[in-house]
């Protein structure tokens, strides 16, 4: 799997994860929180206002009554306070039930996240494998090129050594030929001086060839 295949797969997985987060967490939780807060707040406010009004009336009634009715007034106050407590408890239980109703949604979210995480993990492993394979191939190529360059340098060095040896041999031949020519020239010059012009012309012809 090369890079051109991995990049679209990773981008697709990221988009899928983003949609899951938005569809399964962001929007549902915000809507549910708003609805629960609004419902519970309105209900609790209404209950407290109703019970508070009744409690005030019962307290006023209790303290304006005679001593004989004071016990009944206290009982009514206790009953009103107890009802407010029960209403608050019921509201909390209702909220808990609604939160429990979101459990399938949260389970679906967990499954989606696990699937996306697994997919991203596979893609990352494939990318790491691709990078490792590419690195190994590049290393082999560099080693091969280095060996070829070393062999080429050795071959050129060998050729240069051969050329140098040939030049040295040609130089030795040239020096030997030059020495021979000098010796023949000196010999001819000596004969010219000894024998005269007539004989020297014959010797010159022999020398030249």
pLDDT tens for the 209 residues of the chain, in order? 556 666 677 677 667 766 766 666 667 666 766 666 566 656 656 655 565 555 555 555 544 444 455 555 555 656 655 666 666 566 666 666 566 666 666 666 677 677 777 777 787 787 788 888 888 888 888 888 888 888 888 888 888 888 888 888 888 888 888 888 888 777 777 666 666 544 555 555 555 55
φ, ψ (nearest 5 deg) of residue 65: -85, 175
pLDDT of residue 37: 59
pLDDT of residue 93: 62
Query: Quick one: which of 55, 46, 50, 62 has its CA closest to 81?
Result: 55
- Residue 86 CA to residue 80 CA, distance in Å, equals 10
Per-domain residue ranges of the chain: 3-101
Residue 208, helix vs strand vs coil: helix
């Amino acid at each position: 799997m090369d890079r051109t295949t991995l990049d679209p797969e990773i981008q697709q997985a990221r988009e899928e994860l983003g949609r899951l987060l938005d569809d399964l967490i962001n929007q549902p939780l915000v809507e549910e929180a708003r609805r629960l807060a609004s419902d519970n707040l309105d209900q609790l406010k209404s209950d407290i206002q109703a019970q508070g009004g009744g409690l005030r009336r019962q307290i006023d009634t209790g303290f304006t009554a005679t001593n004989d009715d004071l016990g009944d007034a206290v009982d009514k106050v206790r009953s009103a306070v107890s009802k407010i407590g029960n209403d608050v408890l019921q509201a909390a239980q209702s909220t808990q039930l609604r939160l429990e109703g979101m459990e399938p949604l949260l389970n679906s979210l967990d499954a989606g996240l696990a699937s996306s995480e697994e997919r991203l993990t596979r893609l990352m492993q494939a990318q790491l494998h691709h990078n490792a394979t590419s690195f190994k191939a590049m290393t082999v190529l560099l080693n091969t090129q280095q060996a070829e360059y070393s062999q080429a340098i050795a071959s050129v060095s060998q050729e240069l050594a051969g050329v140098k040896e040939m030049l040295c041999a040609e130089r030795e031949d040239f020096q030997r030929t030059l020495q021979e020519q000098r010796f023949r020239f000196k010999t001819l010059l000596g004969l010219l001086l000894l024998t005269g012009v007539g004989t020297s012309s014959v010797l010159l012809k022999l020398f030249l060839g």
